[in-house]
Chains A and B, each alone.
Chain A
Amino acid sequence: MNLSKSARWGLTAITGIVLIFIYFPLLVILINSFNASKVFSWPPTAWTTDWWTKAATNDGVRAALLTSIKAGVGATLIAIVLGSMVAFAVARYDFFGRDSISFLVILPIALPGIITGIALNASFNTVLVPLGISFGLFTVILGHATFCIVVVFNNVVARLRRTGTSLEEAAMDLGAGPFQTFRDVTFPAVRSALVAGALLAFALSFDEIVVTSFTAGPGVETLPQWIFNNLFRPNQGPIINAVAAALLLAFIAPVYLAMRMSDGPGRVVQVGAEP
């Protein structure tokens, strides 16, 4: 587009301002995690690394971290299996109701989390509890897996559509059966998309709080829940800040990696539009 120099400059300036708008609050958290003050104060006048040490040795934080990792791993494993199965079915077969299935997969993330949360809460209460299965880590994993499936599905289905079927047909023509074709041709082609989907699914689960609070049993506290519960307690501010700063840094590498490995950085929220 032939934009005038001033329009070009204007757009670049707005882009810069929006980027500052996005990153400045996060930078404040990083800086403030070294603020020596015991209560919230800005700007910092003295510095310390105490809060980082205190956060790292806090029993509540460590227990919550472990719970979050367990929930994330469990949900991601289920999402990998189910998400790639649907992706193969949708990308490689033509059948009645295919569009409805794509829609069904994105529904848990298109509806607000509180709807998914309360629906699962109601059904666990009516079905699982009478069977003697009480709310706990298991129910959290069930809930997380439900909305993690879409992330794996998106990444894998995009890759399957992009790679087409010609290589698989060639393998079959050369005498490979379905299992061998899958192992030697299909799987290597989708491997990086699968890893990207898995990383993003884990990130999604690790960060989730709404569905978690409706499906967790007493005594089960994930890291986001720990932050939320401590947000309204006195004197916990600096430790929360250090935990938040640590999470911020911990997220950068895996998410960046996942974006490089998937077929487009915008893939996460896009479904079905690409050929």
Chain B
Amino acid sequence: MSAVTTEPMTSPPSGGSSSGSAFLYRHPRLRLTGLLTAPMLWLGVLYLGSLAIMLIAAFWSTDEFTGQLIKTPTLKNFHTLLTGQVYWVVALRTLGIAVAVTLIDMVLAVPIAFTAAKVVKSRGLRYALVIAVTMPLWAGYLVKGYAMETMFINNGVIDWMLAPLGLKGPGLGIPATVFSLAYLWLPYMILPIYAGLERLPDSLMEASADLGASAGKTFRGVVLPMIVPSLIAGSIFTFSLTLGDYIMVKIVGGTTQMFANIIYDNVGVANNLPLAAAAAVFPITVIVIYLLAVRRSGALENL
């Protein structure tokens, strides 16, 4: 053979191909348009359009007697939210819970991710470990919620375990909510950290050890700075999921309210969609600020 062409043939393929196939072959832009039209209608129009309608609805109001939507723009909802002390209390409490959940998950996730990525030598065992921490992600939200209820409820499993020590568990409330949410989102924190550690070359840690650093110093000086983007990627999940959660707090939180309960109750019981839509601006704003703040860290690549 004298010459090998690396370009695909420029003539339409013959023999067995339909004319439609040949036409598509000659028009890559048309193929791309064909691939993107339906998904973009769905995500771009249906989804983004829905988000836009929600943001517009935040400026609507409801008739107090008929419950009908009044589509005249007003800032009433935002005024209600910003001046209501209860909204501030609930918003700050929710942020506090989100921070606590995120920190607990980081502390629990780093050792297990480090063990899986750097300590376990056998490939099979490493894989088994990663599957073991990922599986519960799919075990069912409410199944896990119910499990947490059986743990924390009065005379539940935690009380039973602490009884021999003469202690009693925290019962249902904010601590139970924090712990349960940390339990639910833990895999979301472990996986990005594991992926980050897997990309970290062993030679860096060996070099640090060769230069006389202790294991602890190597961890603080080499490993930790390298997995910061992974920690941030994980925290996007733990933060965003906590801000949006209203179910776990109903199951294990006793009478505690989180911010998403305000949104949920206004759509359901109170039938005040505009106020709910306005309230939804709070978690969106927090998450967008968070995403913008971390964009430079490269964390979004780890999501």
Contact = CB atoms under 8 A, between A and B. Distances in A.
Given A18-B111, A265-B127, A240 B240 contact: no
Interface in A44-86: 78, 81-83, 85-86
Contacts of A247: 139-140, 143
Contact of A265 (B50, B131, B247): B131
Interface string B140-166: 111110111111010111001000000
A9 to B, nearest CB: 10
Interface in B40-78: 40, 42-44, 46-51, 53-54, 57, 69
Contacts of B264: 114, 213
Contacts of A81: 38
B232 to A, nearest CB: 13
Interface in A116-148: 116, 118-123, 125-127, 142, 145-146
A195 B87 CA distance: 45
A175 B15 CA distance: 8
A8 B215 CA distance: 11
Contacts of B118: 1
Contacts of B146: 29, 227, 231, 240-241, 244
Interface in A228-275: 228, 231, 240-241, 244, 247-248, 251-252, 255-256, 259, 265-266, 268-273
Nearest to A182: B21
Contacts, number: 307
Contact of B17 (A15, A120, A177): A177
A85 B43 CA distance: 12
Q: Interface residues of A: mostly helix, strand, loop or mixed?
A: helix
B1 interface: no
B221 interface: no
Given A21-B108, A119-B54, A123-B50, A177 B273 contact: no
B140 A224 contact: yes
B273 A176 contact: no
B267 A4 contact: no
B289 interface: no
B42 A149 contact: yes
B302 interface: yes
A26 to B, nearest CB: 6
Interface string B236-270: 11001101111100010000000010011001000
Contacts of B141: 207-209, 224
A4 B119 CA distance: 11
A28 interface: yes
Nearest to B146: A244
A105 B5 CA distance: 37
A92 B144 CA distance: 40
B47 A177 contact: no
A89 B28 CA distance: 11
Contacts of A149: 39, 42-43
Report, as a range, how many residues of chain A touch the other chain: 35 or more
Contacts of A112: 240-241, 243-245, 260, 283, 287
B17 A26 contact: no
A27 to B, nearest CB: 9
A259 B136 CA distance: 13
A223 to B, nearest CB: 9
Interface of A: 1-4, 7-8, 11-12, 14-15, 18-19, 21-23, 25-26, 28-29, 32, 40-43, 78, 81-83, 85-86, 88-89, 93, 95, 101, 104-108, 110-116, 118-123, 125-127, 142, 145-146, 149, 169, 172-173, 175-180, 200, 203-204, 207-210, 213-214, 224, 227-228, 231, 240-241, 244, 247-248, 251-252, 255-256, 259, 265-266, 268-273
Interface of B: 5, 8-9, 12-18, 20-22, 24-25, 28, 31-32, 35-36, 38-40, 42-44, 46-51, 53-54, 57, 69, 108, 111-112, 114-116, 118-119, 127, 129-144, 146-151, 153, 155-157, 160, 183, 186, 188, 191-192, 194-195, 202, 205-206, 209, 215, 218, 236-237, 240-241, 243-247, 251, 260, 263-264, 267, 273, 276-277, 280, 283-284, 287, 301-303
5 contacts: A1-B209, A7-B215, A11-B114, A142-B46, A149-B42
Please name the 9 residue pairs, one residue from A and one from B, whose CB atoms are nearest each other, closest first: A112-B244, A177-B17, A177-B21, A123-B50, A25-B147, A119-B50, A119-B54, A89-B35, A14-B111
